[in-house]
Amino acid sequence: MNSIRTIQTEKLKLLKAERNNEAVNLALDNLRNAAKSDHNLMPFILTAVEEYATLGEIADCMRNVFGEY
């Protein structure tokens, strides 16, 4: 029997292999640039999610701009 960790890791690998990584990177770049300005970040976060960026990728992007508290 596979553990939940193993199952989720395999699902994540499959997602990253099948998504449009160019679109994901563009969405994350746009989010990063918006975070450096005074723009509302929610539309940029939603676009990243719609392109199948992971929560970790989105969080890393924002952590790189704002730091970790």
Rounded to two decimals, the pTM is 0.88
Cα torsion 35, 54, 44, 40 to 10°: value is -50
How does pLDDT run across 23-60, given as a tens digit for each residue? 999 999 999 999 999 999 999 999 999 999 999 999 99
Amino acid, res. 27: A
CA distance 41 to 48: 11
1: pLDDT strictly greater than 80: no
The residue ranges of every structural domain in the chain are: 20-66
Q: How confident is the model at residue 2 (pLDDT cuts 50, 70, 90)?
A: confident
Amino acid, res. 45: I
Contact between 28 and 63 (Cβ < 8 Å): no
Mean pLDDT of 5-28: 96
Give the pLDDT of residue 55: 95
